[in-house]
C-alpha cells in the first residue's frame, strides 16, 4: 500500500477506504497514512481528519502522529494543540503525549505542562500518560515535574506512583523525597 500511495495516492486511498472493516483495512489505513506522513505530515493529517469513517479517522490520525513524531515533535505537538474539534484534539494530543513520552520524556513533560496551561479543556489524563512513560526513563525528573503541575487527582496518583518507584529503588528517598 505504501508504494502504491506514492505512485497513485487517489487510487490507493480509494481502495483502502473501500475495504470491509476489519484487520486488513486497519493495517492498510495505517500503512497508507504513515507513508503519506513520511513525505508530508501536515497533508497526511488533513487527509486523515477528512475521513468519514470514525474508526478509520482515528487509526489514520494515530499513524500520522506516530510517523510525524519520529521527525518533528514540536510541529506535531503544535498541530494537535490547535485542532478545533474537541474529540479529535483530545485524541491527537494524547497520541502526541504518548509518542513524546517514549521518544523524549523531558520534552513530553514540558509540552504537557504547556498544553495544560494553554487549554482549560485539556484532558488531565495527559499527566498520568506522560508520567507513566517518563517515570521509568527519568523518575526523579518526573517526580519533580509532577510536584510542579496543577494539583489534580491524576497528578496526585501519578506522584504517588513515581514516589513508590523511587522509594523501592532507594529506600532513603522516602525520607528525603
Kindly report, residue by residue over 1-40, the tens digit of the pLDDT.
777 877 787 888 888 888 888 999 999 999 999 999 999 9
Q: How far apart are CA 6 and CA 70, in angstroms?
A: 20
Q: How far apart are CA 73 and CA 114, in angstroms?
A: 14
* pLDDT on residue 9: 78
* pLDDT on residue 173: 84
* pLDDT on residue 64: 96
* pLDDT on residue 14: 85
- pTM to 2 decimals? 0.85
Question: The dihedral of CA 56, 60, 61, 63: what is its sign?
Answer: positive
Kindly report, residue by residue over 38-73, the tens digit of the pLDDT.
999 999 999 999 998 899 999 999 999 999 999 999
pLDDT bin (cut points 50, 70, 90) of residue 177 is low
Give, in order, the Cα–Cα distances in Å from 60 to each of 9, 39, 172.
15, 15, 46
5: buried, middle or exposed (CB in 10 Å: 19+, 13-18, 0-12)? buried
Question: Which residues, 6 or more positions from 70, have their beta carbon under 8 angstroms from its beta carbon?
Answer: 99, 103
* pLDDT on residue 47: 93
Asked if residue 36 lies in contact with residue 47, where contact means CB atoms within 8 angstroms, the answer is yes
Kindly report, residue by residue over 82-119, the tens digit of the pLDDT.
999 999 999 999 999 999 999 999 999 999 999 999 99
* pLDDT on residue 176: 77
* pLDDT on residue 92: 95
Angle between helices 86-103 and 125-137 (to 10 degrees): 10
b vs e for 16-30, b when ≥16 Cβ sit within 10 Å of the residue's Cβ? bbeeeeeeebeebbb
Cell 497520541, residue located? 95
Amino acid at each position: 500500500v505504501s508504494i502504491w500511495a506514492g505512485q497513485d495516492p487517489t487510487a490507493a486511498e480509494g481502495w483502502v477506504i473501500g475495504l470491509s472493516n476489519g484487520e486488513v483495512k486497519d493495517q492498510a489505513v495505517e500503512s497508507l497514512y504513515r507513508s503519506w506522513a513520511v513525505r508530508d505530515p501536515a497533508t497526511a493529517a488533513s487527509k486523515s481528519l477528512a475521513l468519514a469513517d470514525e474508526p478509520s479517522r482515528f487509526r489514520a490520525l494515530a499513524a500520522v502522529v506516530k510517523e510525524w513524531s519520529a521527525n518533528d515533535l514540536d510541529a506535531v505537538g503544535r498541530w494537535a494543540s490547535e485542532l478545533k474539534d474537541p474529540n479529535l484534539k483530545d485524541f491527537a494530543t494524547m497520541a502526541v503525549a504518548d509518542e513524546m513520552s517514549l521518544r523524549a520524556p523531558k520534552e513530553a513533560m514540558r509540552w504537557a505542562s504547556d498544553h495544560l496551561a494553554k487549554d482549560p479543556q485539556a484532558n488531565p489524563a495527559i499527566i498520568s500518560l506522560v508520567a507513566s512513560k517518563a517515570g521509568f526513563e527519568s523518575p526523579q525528573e518526573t517526580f519533580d515535574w509532577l510536584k510542579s503541575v496543577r494539583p489534580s487527582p491524576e497528578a496526585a496518583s501519578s506522584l504517588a506512583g513515581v514516589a513508590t518507584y523511587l522509594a523501592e529503588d532507594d529506600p532513603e528517598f522516602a525520607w528525603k523525597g
